[in-house]
Amino acid sequence: MRYSEIFLPTVREVPSDAEIISHQLMIRAGMIRKLTSGIYSYLPLGYRVMQKLERIIREEMNRSGAQEVFMPMVQPRELWEESGRWSHYGKELLRFRDRNERECCLGPTHEEVITDLVRNEIKTYRHLPKNLYQIQTKFRDEIRPRFGVMRCREFSMKDAYSFDANEEGVDISYKKMFDAYCRIFERCGLKFRAVEADTGSIGGSFSHEFMVMADTGEDAICFCRNCEYAANLEKAEIAMPERRQISIEEFLPLELVHTPNMKSIDEISAFLHVAPKDVVKTMIYSADATPVAVLVRGDEVINEIKVRNYLGCDILEMAADNMIYDVTGAPRGFAGAVGIKARTIADYSLMNMINFIMGANKEDYHVKNVNIGRDVSVEAFADLRIVHDADLCPRCGRPLKFARGIEVGHVFKLGTKYSKAMNATFLDKNGREQYMMMGCYGIGIGRTVASAIEQNHDANGIIWPMPMAPYHVIITPVNVNDESIKRISEDLYKALLEKGIEVILDDRDERAGVKFKDADLIGIPLRITIGQKSLSNGKIEVKLRRSGEVKILAMDRVEYFVINYINEGM
Residues near its own copies, by CB under 8 A? 5-7, 9, 33, 35-37, 39-44, 46-48, 50-51, 65, 67-76, 91-92, 94, 96-100, 102, 104, 106, 113, 116-117, 120-122, 130, 132, 137, 139, 141, 143, 153-154, 156
Q: Tell me whether residue 137 or residue 532 sits nearer to its own copies (CB atom).
A: 137
- The answer to whether 551 and 541 have CB atoms below 8 angstroms apart is yes
Q: Tell me whether residue 229 or residue 493 sits nearer to its own copies (CB atom).
A: 493
At residue 23, φ and ψ (nearest 5 deg) are: -65, -45
| Least distance (Å) between residue 160 CB and its own copies | 12
Q: Tell me whether residue 2 or residue 243 sits nearer to its own copies (CB atom).
A: 2
Q: Tell me whether residue 113 or residue 197 sits nearer to its own copies (CB atom).
A: 113
| Least distance (Å) between residue 27 CB and its own copies | 11
Q: What one-character DSSP code corresponds to residue 312? A: T
| Least distance (Å) between residue 132 CB and its own copies | 6
Q: Tell me whether residue 112 or residue 383 sits nearer to its own copies (CB atom).
A: 112
| Least distance (Å) between residue 450 CB and its own copies | 15
Q: Tell me whether residue 77 or residue 183 sits nearer to its own copies (CB atom).
A: 77
Sign of the C-alpha dihedral, residues 516, 520, 523, 527? positive
| Least distance (Å) between residue 98 CB and its own copies | 6
| Least distance (Å) between residue 43 CB and its own copies | 6
| Least distance (Å) between residue 83 CB and its own copies | 14
| Least distance (Å) between residue 527 CB and its own copies | 22
- Dump strand ranges (E) for 311-418: 316-318, 343-347, 356-359, 365-370, 380-382, 400-415
Instruction: Work out the burial of residue 74: count CB atoms within 10 Å of its CB; fewer than 13 is exposed, 13-18 middle, 19 or more buried.
Output: exposed
Residues 6+ apart with CB under 8 A from 287: 307, 308, 311, 313, 315, 316
- Could you give the CA distance from residue 12 to residue 32 in angstroms, rounded to a whole number? 15
Q: Which amino acid would we find at residue 417? A: K
Half-sphere exposure of 520 (CA within 13 A, CB side): 15
Q: What one-character DSSP code corresponds to residue 188? A: T
Long-range interactions of 34-37: CB distance < 8 A, separation 24+? 37/145, 37/153
Q: Tell me whether residue 48 or residue 545 sits nearer to its own copies (CB atom).
A: 48
Q: Tell me whether residue 145 or residue 291 sits nearer to its own copies (CB atom).
A: 145
Closest CA to 132 of 156, 164, 105, 163: 163
- Could you give the CA distance from residue 188 to residue 183 in angstroms, rounded to a whole number? 8
- Could you give the CA distance from residue 389 to residue 153 in angstroms, rounded to a whole number? 34
Q: Tell me whether residue 113 or residue 403 sits nearer to its own copies (CB atom).
A: 113
| Least distance (Å) between residue 99 CB and its own copies | 5
